[in-house]
């Protein structure tokens, strides 16, 4: 039995969960999310205990894999519509700046041209100053994916550490040729 999958997901106050035709819908103060689960698992809502129960029909490998995954995704949806998720990025380098213009994130990170990244629907991207980016949203996958795509535009290089990194990320710097 899956250790994660057999735990019921508790529904937080202010969050409404409904299941219909393999579609789990979660509504809360931060937004509304939908997830269509696979037919190998069954999702049910217990109104009295205020919990969501995920179960599987058989012990086939794919059923076991999807059991814990489905439970984790539903838990992330409930936490996301209640509190939301956030990723913080830093832009490190001389002359490297970032700004939000309408629905675009503009980055000057050492290339000849300014990079522009379209902000997807459902995400809120802000720049508190010219060297920090904050990505917020209720969908954990969207927040993480957008932050990873922004970071991949200019990954931190290993000699001076210049580039876009997650806040608090440690970059192991190489000594360079002068260290020999």
Residues of the chain with CATH 3.90.930.12: 9-82, 85-173
Is this model's pTM higher than 0.75 or not? yes
* Number of Cβ atoms within 10 Å of the Cβ of 50: 15
93-151 confidence digits (pLDDT tens): 999 999 999 999 999 999 999 999 999 999 999 999 999 999 999 999 999 999 999 99
CATH fold of the domain at 85-173: Outer Surface Protein A; domain 3 (3.90.930)
And the tokens for 88? Answer: 């913080």
DSSP assignment of 123-163 equals: EEEE-SSTTEEEEEES-HHHHHHHHHHHHHHSPPPTTT--E
Domain 9-82: give its CATH superfamily.
Ribosomal protein L6 (3.90.930.12)
Q: Nearest Cα to 133, choosing from 167, 109, 104?
A: 167
Within 8 A by CB and 6+ apart from 163, the residues are 91, 92, 93, 109, 154, 155, 156, 157
């Amino acid at each position: 039995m899956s250790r994660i999958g057999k735990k019921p997901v508790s529904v937080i106050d202010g969050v409404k969960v409904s299941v219909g035709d393999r579609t789990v819908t979660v509504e809360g103060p931060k937004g509304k999310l939908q997830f269509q689960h696979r037919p190998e698992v069954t999702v049910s809502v217990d109104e009295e205990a205020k919990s969501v129960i995920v179960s599987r029909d058989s012990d086939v490998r794919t059923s076991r894999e999807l059991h814990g995954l489905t439970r984790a995704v539903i838990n992330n949806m409930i936490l996301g519509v209640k509190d939301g998720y956030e990723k913080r990025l830093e832009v490190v380098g001389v002359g490297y700046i970032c700004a939000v213009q309408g629905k675009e994130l503009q980055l000057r990170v050492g290339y000849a041209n300014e990079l522009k990244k379209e902000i997807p629907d459902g995400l809120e991207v802000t720049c508190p100053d010219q060297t920090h980016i904050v990505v917020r949203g209720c969908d954990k996958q969207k927040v993480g994916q957008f932050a990873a795509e922004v970071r991949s535009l200019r990954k931190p290089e290993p000699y001076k550490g210049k580039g876009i990194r997650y806040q608090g990320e440690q970059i192991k710097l190489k000594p360079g040729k002068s260290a020999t």
